[in-house]
Amino acid sequence: MGDYKLSASLRGHEDDVRSVVFPSPTTVASASRDSTVRVWSLQSSSPPNFDSTIKVHGTEFVNALTVVPPTAEFPQGLIVSGGKDQIIDVRQPTKAVGDNADALLIGHGNNICALDASPDGKSIISGSWDMEARVWTVGKWGESTVLKNHKGSVWAVLAYDSSNIITGCADKEIRIFSPTGQLTRSIKTSDVVRALCKLPANHPSGAHFASAGNDAVVRLWTLEGRQLYELHGHENFIYSLAAFPDGRLISCGEDRTARIWEGNQCIQTITHPAISVWTVAVCAENGDIVTGSSDKIVRVFSRDPARHADPAAIAQFSEDVKGSSIPKEQVGGINKEQLPGPEFLTQKSGTKEGQTQLILEANGNISAYQWSTAASEWVSIGTVVDQAGSSGRKITHNGKDYDYVFDVDIEEGKPPLKLPYNLSQNPYEVARKFCEDHKLPLTYLDQVTNFIVQNTQGQTLGQSAPAQGADPWGTESRYRPGDAAPAAPTQPPPPRPKILPQKEYLDILAANHLPILKKLAEYNDALVKEGRKDLSLNPSDIEQLNAAVTLMQKGSTKDIDFGAIDLILKAATEWPVDKRLPALDLLRLLFAAEEPVAFLTTERNFLQSLAGSGVFEATSPPNNTMMAIRSIDNLFRTDIGRAAANDAFDLILGFVRPFLESAHRNLIIAITTLYINYSVLLTEESNADRTLHLLNDLNTILLCAKDSEAVYRALVATGTLLSLGSDFCEAGRDILQLGTAISAAESKVKEPRVKNVVAEIREQLAV
């Protein structure tokens, strides 16, 4: 067989594809920053054609994916995914996206970035930015074993065998643990470790596993910690590794390539028309490979001509690569005068597979070519551009030109740090380097990345920016690490002079509109197939919803037709409970403008509609309840909404009180956001009875809540209410015994921001 060629391009994801698995020749699974996990099934084989089904649709990036092999308990295996919401979703492949997961594994305190399953199907290994790896026993979902001693994000995990678990970490170490959590060996490396893979038994090198990371080198190791080989060829970070059954390796990374290795030589380089190739996997049965990249596409490659794509698709892939714009920064310093002309391509051969050569074309452009050993020729892989996607306006910082130089406040009273960024760069890697250069906690990574994306939205090269809402803790252009989006995990902000009282209302408006609409349409199709004409929407209704969502995306919520609002309300309150979530999500977004709020609160009395739908009953799916409360949170965004929330104070608190002790993270965060908003409202219009009711409820939350964000928000709401005066401090201290609840909160969450706000509350209570 010859080189690998394109077999199929799988399109459907709406953001970067971060993880792929290839469990069988007919099945591929992929996870994306568009908050979904898709399973792609082979429909026809000549040429290969796959169709996808969404299995998981969350609200945050999905970064990690693995498949548990079939067992007696789960004969079809399990799909396991995790990401920014800190929850590991475990489900059987036959389950639909709206079905409950077989398990939701909770324990990590930050973004989940790595997953693996043991070969025997008995355990799942996870790695996270919280500097922990965990071992979960399949079928016994309640507890996990923590693999400790990491000093940075755990970027890679490998369930090597029944005796050894291997982790790769941002602290530049590889660690080998026993399944019980005992550290048996630590291997120091030269840079951050991002990828691990197991090598087949009796590998020709004598090695047992491979690693790779920020230094662009693949290393082969024994379990005893001895390095045997280094594989050089990549020109930037390596993100993923996989092994073929015959011992060959494939790696991929930030240099846009997937590279196949035999022995210690790269034998083929597959360049992608993308900024990053994030992930790669191998099908053990037929040796085909699958990649996922920043251009949102999953691609399958095969050596078998019978599984190649049609010639037109292969030619198009080649043209896409050739037409790529390569940022100048990715190829280093360039002196045009020293570059060879096109004649070089016919006069000189490459010295190794994947070697890159820059050529000064006759028209003055600089093109990049890559040497293909198999074809014995130079292959065009794109045009080098000074600043692809740049507006042309440059800012000089430390002698270099950038598209942006942001001010970042780390500590009050000190000069801001400078964050330089070019549109051709990967936002995450810029954020990582910024944190490392300034010795900031890795917990800031996600927040700095989001800040870059938000402030360059619509201009990022080669990938769409994820939808984000405004920073609820303030709207200044200067970014402060530690500030958080409402539904995202928040890490401790640096000390600030004064936290209390809270003066801003919080809303929860971040959304990825198109997936929400697509899911609503899928559910509507299901109702049509079930013959539920009384509930389903007709084609003209769907068109009306399309128009409404388009307006939402543009920020023109006030222009939405009231008929579309009625359709959303119908689906949110009358559809079967397992199909309501997308409509509830759209309902939440309608509160971005006065007009929809006025219509829903006066003409339709949406609070009564929600109550009548059962969404606040104990039997309601928690996500439905959470989304309904988020809608109420957003009432405080507008004057008419605040008036409605004020009038319905007792009714709304009656809705949420049954859930004050809930362990559902997003639900309790939605509730504590509501209490913050009411506390801000009461600072404008003091009401003693209402203040005491809120303090009593917050006392309950502080005693029960374990999530750090929920605890922090409950404390902020409590402190804001106590700032109303000494009478409330006295009641909180003597009647409600808030001191006990505050001490309980402080003991559960060991974060500086919690310590700071607790200190302010204690000062209030001491007066």
Question: Residue 204 to residues 3, 262, 739: CA-CA distances in angstroms?
Answer: 22, 10, 65
Look-up of token digits 């079928």: 139
Q: Would you place residue 255 in the very low, low, confident or very high pLDDT band (cuts 50, 70, 90)?
A: confident
pLDDT at 43 over 50: yes
**What pLDDT is recorded for position 359?**
86
Q: CA of 213: how far to CAs of 195, 210, 387, 731, in Å?
A: 6, 11, 26, 56
pLDDT the model gives residue 585: 92
> Long-range contact list for 674-678, CB < 8 A, 24+ apart?
674/629, 674/632, 674/633, 675/701, 675/713, 675/714, 675/717, 676/502, 676/506, 676/713, 676/716, 676/717, 676/720, 677/505, 677/506, 677/633, 677/636, 677/645, 678/645, 678/649, 678/717
Radius of gyration of the chain (CA): 27
Sheet with strand 257-262: strands edge to edge? 238-243, 249-253, 257-262, 265-271
Which strand (E) or helix (H) includes residue 719? Answer: helix 708-722
CA pseudo-torsion sign 332, 338, 343, 344:
negative
Position 328 scores a pLDDT of: 64
Q: Judge contact between 83 and 112, C-beta under 8 A.
A: yes
pLDDT at 534 over 90: no
CA proximity to 436, closest of 424, 426, 448: 448
What is residue 333's predicted lDDT score, i.e. its pLDDT? 61
pLDDT score, position 365:
79
* Inter-axis angle of helices 738-748 and 688-704, nearest 10: 40
Burial of 597 (0-12, 13-18, 19+ CB in 10 A): buried
Greater pLDDT, 684 or 49: 49
| 111 contact partners, CB below 8 Å, separation of at least 6 | 61, 63, 83, 84, 86, 128, 129, 446, 489
Q: Which residue has the higher pLDDT, 330 or 752?
A: 752
pLDDT band at 207 (very low <50, low <70, confident <90, very high): very high
> Which pLDDT score, from 0 to 100, does residue 395 have?
65
The answer to whether 724 and 691 are in contact (CB under 8 A) is: yes
Once rounded to an integer, what is the mean pLDDT over residues 138-146?
89
**Which residues partner with 154 through β-bridges?**
169
Which pLDDT belongs to residue 383? 78
Specify the pLDDT at position 386: 55
Name the residue type at position 137: T
Amino acid identity at 46: S
Each residue's pLDDT tens digit, 632-655: 999 999 999 999 999 999 999 999
pLDDT band at 374 (very low <50, low <70, confident <90, very high): confident
pLDDT of residue 412: 54
Residue 483: exposure state from Cβ atoms within 10 A (0-12, 13-18, ≥19): middle
Q: What is the per-residue pLDDT for 396?
A: 65
- In angstroms, how far is CA 467 from the centroid of its own chain? 11
| Cα four-point dihedral sign 569, 573, 575, 577 | positive
Residue 370: predicted pLDDT? 84
Q: What is the pLDDT of residue 460?
A: 33
Q: How far apart are CA 562 and CA 560, in angstroms?
A: 6
Residue partners of 476: CB distance under 8 A and separation at least 6: none
Most distant CA pair in the chain: distance in Å?
89
In sequence order, the β-bridge partners of residue 379 are 370
* Average pLDDT rounded to a whole number, residues 403-410: 73
Dihedral sign (CA 301, 272, 11, 251): positive
More confident residue, 535 or 330: 535
Residue in 292, 246, 306, 275 with CA at minimum distance from that of residue 22 = 292
Spell out the residues 6+ positions from residue 57 whose beta carbon is closer than 8 angstroms to its own.
35, 36, 97, 515, 519
Q: Is the pLDDT of residue 707 over 50?
A: yes
Percent of the chain with pLDDT over 70: 88
Q: pLDDT confidence of 312, banded at 50, 70, 90?
A: very high
How long is the chain?
Answer: 767
DSSP string, 563-630: HHHHHHHHHHHHS-GGG-HHHHHHHHHGGGSHHHHHIIIIIS-HHHHHHHHTTTSTTS-HHHHHHHHH
Inform me whether the pLDDT recorded for 330 exceeds 90. no
Which is nearest to 23 in space by CA: 246, 200, 242? 242
pLDDT at 442: 59
CA atoms within 13 A on the CB side of 200: 11
The span from the CA of 514 to the CA of 521, in Å, is: 10
If one compares 115 and 344, the residue with the highest pLDDT of the two is 115
Give dist(CA 26, CA 48) in Å, integer.
10
Q: What is the pLDDT of residues 469-497, one digit of tens each?
A: 322 222 232 333 333 333 333 343 333 44
pLDDT of residue 491: 40
Above pLDDT 90, what percent of the chain?
55
Q: What is the pLDDT averaged over residues 110-138? A: 95
What is the 8-class DSSP label of residue 475? Answer: -
Domain 395-423+425-455 is classified in which CATH homologous superfamily?
Answer: PFU (PLAA family ubiquitin binding), C-terminal domain (3.10.20.870)
CA atoms within 13 A on the CB side of 160: 24
Cis peptide before 501 (omega within 30 of 0): yes
Other C-beta atoms closer than 10 Å to the C-beta of 524 total 23
- Which is more confidently placed, 56 or 409? 56
Q: Say if CB 80 and CB 117 are below 8 A apart.
A: yes
Q: How far apart are CA 635 and CA 601, in angstroms?
A: 10
- Cis peptide bond prior to 486, omega within 30° of 0: no
Q: What is the mean pLDDT of residues 55-66?
A: 92
pLDDT at 97 over 60: yes
* Residue of 385 and 177 predicted with greater confidence: 177
Strands of the sheet containing 5-10, edge to edge, are: 5-10, 298-302, 289-293, 277-282
* Cβ proximity of 258 and 250 under 8 Å: yes
CB 261 within 8 A of CB 216: no
User: Which residues are 38's β-sheet partners?
Assistant: 30, 54
Q: What is the number of other CB atoms lying within 10 angstroms of the CB of residue 541?
A: 17
* pLDDT band for position 421 (cuts 50, 70, 90): confident
pLDDT tens, 581-620?
Answer: 999 999 999 988 899 999 998 899 889 999 999 999 999 9
- In whole angstroms, give the CA distance from residue 761 to residue 739: 9
As a 3-state breakdown, the chain gives helix, strand, coil percent values, each rounded to 5, of: 35, 30, 40
Domain boundaries, the chain: 327-385, 395-423+425-455, 507-653, 660-767
d(CA 344, CA 347): 5
CATH topology of domain 507-653: Leucine-rich Repeat Variant (1.25.10)
Does the structure show a pLDDT above 50 at 468?
no
Q: Which three-class secondary structure state does DSSP give residue 147?
A: strand
Over 90: is that where the pLDDT of 218 sits?
yes
| Average model confidence (pLDDT) across the chain | 85
Token pair, residue 23, equals 């469990």
In terms of C-beta distances under 8 Å and separation of at least 24 residues, what long-range contacts does 261-266 make, across chains too?
A: 261/218, 261/231, 261/233, 263/204, 263/205, 264/229, 264/230, 264/231, 265/352, 265/353, 266/231, 266/233, 266/352, 266/353, 266/354
